[in-house]
Structure 1
Amino acid sequence: MNILFNIRSNQISDVPVALGTLTSLGTLDLRNNKISTFPLELCTLHLSVLDLSNNNLTGLPSELGMMTSLRRLLLSGNPIRTIRSSLVMGPTPALLKHLCGRLQTNEDSRPTAASSGNIFGAGCNEQVAFAARESSSTRNLILRKLDLDHVPAVVIEKENLLSLDLSYNKIGQLPVNLSSCSSLEVLNLEGNKISEWPGAVFAALPNLQRLVLASNPIQELPSKCFSCLTSLKSLDLSTISARLPLPPALSIMTILEELRLRRMRLQEFPSEVFALGRLRVLDLGQNSLSHIPSEISSLKSLEELDISDNSIMSLPPELGLLETSLQALKLDGNPLKSIRRSVLDRGTKAILQYLKLKLPQPASS
């Protein structure tokens, strides 16, 4: 369900950070206000549409680039100076990619807490304490990029927490007593050092809807690792070391809407996804796929399909049957030979229409 929150034309200058707790929010309409900054607390939302047009924004937080669910980011009528106008007014995926790249650059050049001149002075302990105090009202705790090697005790004390962001730290394992955060709906662990699947912890988080484990050195995914994650709507396993378990595994998560398996050394298309009727986003980029099955047409809710940087030479005509739902088809980095470059250059809709015309015609009676 795409829940809409509309506070346009209200003369507001600050976005309420409490919106960061609305984890089911799909569309956020903030146009025609006086907003000058977009808060970091909202960058962990799972929005499809964000309308910030006609405000006073001069820039955007790099963290917004991590909102991979975002399909439309509307920014016209803002005096943005830190991003090229061609990006601001161009396709949303290109802008998100730019912001994400800027975030990585900042991460690579980030000084240590002791020398960075941050307002907390002594280092990450003060930052953790400050974030914990802020989360009391928002129920959204952001502890990303603090060089943490363990989950702070203050997290365990936040039993009513809805969203926890521990991304880009050095955490090697999750404490079992994280289960005290049983209300948790969003857990972001991207870019840590987790090597074993924390199944016992996940089993104690029955309300978890979004789980990000990308870029962790997880060595093995147990055969029933997803059996306790049936409430998930979004799963990101990109760039983990492990291979997918044999079926049935993914198909257990019947309400999954977003699945990201980028850079997982996949050689075959994971056919289990065809059982995921609610899937909106499927990211299989940077793998070794050579074939897309015709059953792809069964994913009637699919809005984004990323199969870039694979070894795909042709696409099934049946993909054209998704013309009404599929908004973004990413194909760059494939040795495609069955579709003319002039068609590819015209974008998703033209490609799908071309494929649809290639479908076998029913025999006339």
Structure 2
Amino acid sequence: MSRFARGGRAQDPRAGFREQTDKEPSVPQGLIKAARKSGQLNLSARGLTEVPASVWRINVDTPEEAHGNVQFDGTDRWWEQTDLTKLILASNKLTALSEDIRLLPALVVLDVHDNLLSEVPRAIGELVNLQKLNVSHNKLKALPEELAQLQNLKTLFLQQNQLEEVPDMIGQLGALDELDLSNNCLRSVSGGLATLSHLSRLNLSNNKLKVLPPEISRMKCLRQLDCTSNLLEDVPPSLAGMESLEQLYLRQNKLTFLPELPNCKLLKELHVGNNQISTLGPQHLSHLGSLCILELRDNKLKSLPDEIAVLKGLERLDLSNNDLSGLPAALGNLPNLKSLQLEGNPLRGIRRDLLTKGTQELLKYLRDRVQVPDSKSGEPAAPVATAMTLPSDSLVNTHAIATLKTLEYSDKQAATIPDEVFNAVGSCPVTVINFSKNQLTEAPPRVVELKDSVCDMNLGFNKIAVLSLNLCMLQKITYLDMRNNLLSSLPDELEALIRLQSITLSFNRALHLEGNPFRNPRAAILAKGTSAVMEYLRSRIPT
């Protein structure tokens, strides 16, 4: 029979096998061959609905190249293959993993996040060398008991699943260093987790927890605890015994008072915003001498105690959206405070224009009102009134430039910043710029002139739609406030700001992604809106 069809076209010799072949997920042999040499195989975002048998048997079956001519002087010696130690199957459409996973006993890293898995195979327990397991962003409702056999496991990511309880057997993972259970359906946490004596990071955020187990205090190595977005009305007093704790996140709960943490002497960050805290007393602050960040925004605080002055290491204090009518003068004596957020408070004892002058000028105002004991009588002396106690009302506050290293031109409704403002700087190393509450459509080009000194910049409440590359040249900038503008994206060049610790972007334009042929993230995530997409992206930042 002729090998040509009537139309003159050659017949496809694979025609009889195509239907069977098309059903099999394909992995290029080149990747398999390379994985035998490197010990690593990355099959992420390939649309796989199942894992080919050749992947599970990569170290079991004889390679195809072994059936050819053996070249003893060649560089590709199949008999010198390396056991697979790292397998990435993320962002596919896998609904199950084969029990044949046991054929990869040398695996150290297994990443199957962002799939459709409803269960983990029991054979997972045979991967005794596994150190990192990422099964986040799946549909898991339970975990196999065999998981407890992974005694070398250091990192376990279970976020964004459908778990309703934390299995006790996780407490048997003695080497575990990081555990992420965020964005599940947890209503309680077993005290069995307290046996994780080496755990340093625990994320329980975005669940339905009403209480934390008292046993949690036995986690003596825990440095970061995140309980954001739960239903906590209280925290156990035993939490105060966590001596290694450095970061504590209790945002968006139902707390009515700040926890007392007398033994948490290493605590650097305490985040308790979006609660119902109405009282802050000396007992809540007296032992937090190492604190650098204290976030109390969106609570019901009516006053601050003078004892806040004991927080000598405090660098950021967020008191936005409380019920504060005044501030203690002692606040001005915090030597390291660089950022003080007060928006949304009914402050009546401080002039409104002063509140727009920036953190350093406000702190100076408070310092000038601290009552210093009179050397003769021992009684507090009245504050000394000077001509510069209040900010200048002139075009440029030269006093603030010279003494506070602050360049301020805010609340003027100006479309541009006058050259006289920048000219007034001279050779002074300005560290703070406040150009908020104007009509600026871009960052002033002349800010580049201050790139060697500026650390804190406020461009909030303007009409800036694009973040100019001028800002990306401010190599020392640490805090950038761009709230209430028209931003819809950020430039890639922003990554050059290696010292940037905080950028405020609230009340800008939302993230719009419609009409793009995304394969990753999935359409289901895109449909949930900006918050879901941002959470998805944050969970993929390498740690």
Q: TM-score, normalised by structure 1?
A: 0.58
Give the corresponding residue for 1:308.
Answer: 320
- 1:332-363 CA-to-partner distances (Å, cap 9, x unmatched) read 11011222333222221121122112223554
Q: Is the 8 A contact 1:221 1:243 kept in 2?
A: no
**Higher RCO (CA-CA < 8 Å; seq separation 6+):** 1
Give the aligned length: 246
Q: Is the 8 A contact 2:268 2:291 kept in 1?
A: yes
State how far apart, in whole Å, the 2-side matches of 1:363 and 1:203 are. Answer: 47
Q: Is the 8 A contact 1:131 1:142 kept in 2?
A: no
Q: Is 2:301 aligned against 1:289? A: yes
Give the corresponding residue for 1:122.
Answer: 116
- SS of structure 2 residue aligned to 1:252: coil
Give the corresponding residue for 2:337.
Answer: 326
Q: Is the 8 A contact 2:256 2:278 kept in 1?
A: no
State how far apart, in whole Å, the 2-side matches of 1:139 and 1:197 are. Answer: 23
Range that drifts further, 276-285 or 203-212: 203-212
CA 1:243–1:289 in structure 2 vs 1: closer, same or farther (change >3 Å)?
closer
- SS of structure 2 residue aligned to 1:351: helix
Matches within 5 A, 1:247-266: 249-266=260-277
CA 1:120–1:266 in structure 2 vs 1: closer, same or farther (change >3 Å)?
closer
Matches within 5 A, 1:270-281: 270-272=281-283, 273-281=285-293
Q: Is 2:211 aligned against 1:211? A: no
CA 1:146–1:217 in structure 2 vs 1: closer, same or farther (change >3 Å)?
same
Q: Is the 8 A contact 2:330 2:370 kept in 1?
A: yes
Which residue type is aligned with residue 275 of structure 2?
M
State how far apart, in whole Å, the 2-side matches of 1:206 and 1:146 are. Answer: 28
Q: Is the 8 A contact 2:168 2:190 kept in 1?
A: no
Higher-Rg member (1/2): 2
CA 1:160–1:138 in structure 2 vs 1: closer, same or farther (change >3 Å)?
closer
Q: Please state how far the C-alpha of 1:330 moved relative to its aligned partner.
A: 1.0
Give the corresponding residue for 2:252.
Answer: 239
Q: Is the 8 A contact 1:131 1:143 kept in 2?
A: no
Q: Is the 8 A contact 1:148 1:170 kept in 2?
A: yes
State how far apart, in whole Å, the 2-side matches of 1:146 and 1:267 are. Answer: 35
State how far apart, in whole Å, the 1-side matches of 2:347 and 2:257 are. Answer: 26
Q: Please state how far the C-alpha of 1:214 moved relative to its aligned partner.
A: 2.3
- 1:59-103 CA-to-partner distances (Å, cap 9, x unmatched) read xxxxxxxxxxxxxxxxxxxxxxxxxxxxxxxxxxxxxxxxxxxxx
Q: Is the 8 A contact 1:132 1:154 kept in 2?
A: no
- SS of structure 1 residue aligned to 2:241: coil
Structure 2: 5+ residue stretches without partners: 1-92, 96-111, 125-129, 136-149, 377-543
Give the corresponding residue for 1:133.
Answer: 133
Give the corresponding residue for 1:159.
Answer: 174
Give the corresponding residue for 1:94.
Answer: none
Report % sequence identity.
Answer: 30
Q: Is the 8 A contact 1:113 1:124 kept in 2?
A: no
Give the corresponding residue for 2:214.
Answer: 199
State how far apart, in whole Å, the 1-side matches of 2:253 and 2:354 are. Answer: 34
Which residue type is aligned with residue 238 of structure 1?
R
Give the corresponding residue for 1:45.
Answer: none
Which residue type is aligned with residue 268 of structure 2?
E
- 1:183-238 CA-to-partner distances (Å, cap 9, x unmatched) read 101111111112222112x133221122122222234444x332432332222222
State how far apart, in whole Å, the 2-side matches of 1:220 and 1:265 are. Answer: 11
CA 1:352–1:205 in structure 2 vs 1: closer, same or farther (change >3 Å)?
same
State how far apart, in whole Å, the 2-side matches of 1:177 and 1:124 are. Answer: 24
CA 1:175–1:253 in structure 2 vs 1: closer, same or farther (change >3 Å)?
same
Q: Is 2:186 aligned against 1:168? A: no
State how far apart, in whole Å, the 2-side matches of 1:319 and 1:206 are. Answer: 33
Q: Please state how far the C-alpha of 1:167 moved relative to its aligned partner.
A: 1.4
CA 1:234–1:198 in structure 2 vs 1: closer, same or farther (change >3 Å)?
same
Matches within 5 A, 1:321-360: 321-322=333-334, 324-360=335-371
Q: Is the 8 A contact 2:132 2:156 kept in 1?
A: yes
- SS of structure 2 residue aligned to 1:203: helix
CA 1:265–1:152 in structure 2 vs 1: closer, same or farther (change >3 Å)?
same
State how far apart, in whole Å, the 1-side matches of 2:250 and 2:281 are. Answer: 14
User: CA RMSD of the aligned region, Å?
Assistant: 3.4
CA 1:196–1:121 in structure 2 vs 1: closer, same or farther (change >3 Å)?
closer
Which residue type is aligned with residue 290 of structure 2?
R
CA 1:228–1:358 in structure 2 vs 1: closer, same or farther (change >3 Å)?
closer
State how far apart, in whole Å, the 1-side matches of 2:243 and 2:193 are. Answer: 19
CA 1:124–1:305 in structure 2 vs 1: closer, same or farther (change >3 Å)?
farther
Give the corresponding residue for 2:412.
Answer: none
Q: Please state how far the C-alpha of 1:134 moved relative to its aligned partner.
A: 5.3
Q: TM-score, normalised by structure 2?
A: 0.40
Q: Is the 8 A contact 1:188 1:212 kept in 2?
A: yes
